[in-house]
Amino acid sequence: MIITTILGSPKRAGNTAKVLEAFERLAAADHEVFRIDIAEKTIGGCLGCYACQRSADAPGCRQDDDFGEVIARIMRSDLVVYSTPVYAWDFTAQMKTLVDRHFCLVKRKQPDATAYLLEGKRTMLLATCGGEASSNADLIQEVFKREMDYLRCRVAGIYIAGSCTAPAALGDKPETIARQMMEGLRRIA
């Protein structure tokens, strides 16, 4: 299985990176794992120009940035893991920009004919938050589910690591979450 992980944190060694690394180590034993560090990419916001809708079977975005490279990797993957710290109950700005650009992956050819370029793609969400998950990560889970529903992707799991204050204070949380994610992966492999 080809797994692409997307680190949506601007902190390359933060809580989210530590938990994601634990999953990547376990998954790499049996799968090809490729990471995209979205903070290192240049991805502009969606322009709302609808130029992408002129292309029926490709993303077709007219912007010349790193999105094309990122989305090509996503399209070649069997599983995509979106990982992000929770910022104001949602994705980081870096991840939000990428997710907004997914608009070009749904092609509205006619009112009754729509093509979904990621249809059936398996996805996971890994989110970390500073407080309790129940009061910090409830909205990001709903946003993720709705986005994946819009794209007709199949959510293979949502994993939340709450009360993450500092990478050094995570204890065994990265390994615990990584094992849970591996169980989700085994269910779909």
Structure confidence by residue, pLDDT tens digits, 56-65: 889 999 999 9
| pLDDT for position 56 | 85
Confidence of residue 109 (pLDDT cuts 50, 70, 90): confident
Reduced to 3 states (helix: H, G, I; strand: E, B; else coil), residue 1 is coil
**Is the pLDDT confidence value at 80 over 90?**
yes
Average confidence (pLDDT) over 159-175: 95
Pairing of strands 154-161, 122-128: parallel
pLDDT in tens, 3-29: 999 999 999 999 999 999 999 999 999
| CATH code, domain with 163 | 3.40.50.360
Number of domains in the chain: 1
CA distance 188 to 185: 5
Place of tokens 């004919």: 113
Residues 6+ apart with CB under 8 A from 110: none
Q: Which residues form the domain of 76?
A: 2-188
Residues 116-131, mean pLDDT to the nearest whole number: 96
DSSP 138-170: HHHHHHHHHHHHHHT-EEEEEEEE-S---GGG-
CA 177, CA 175: separation in Å to the nearest integer?
A: 6
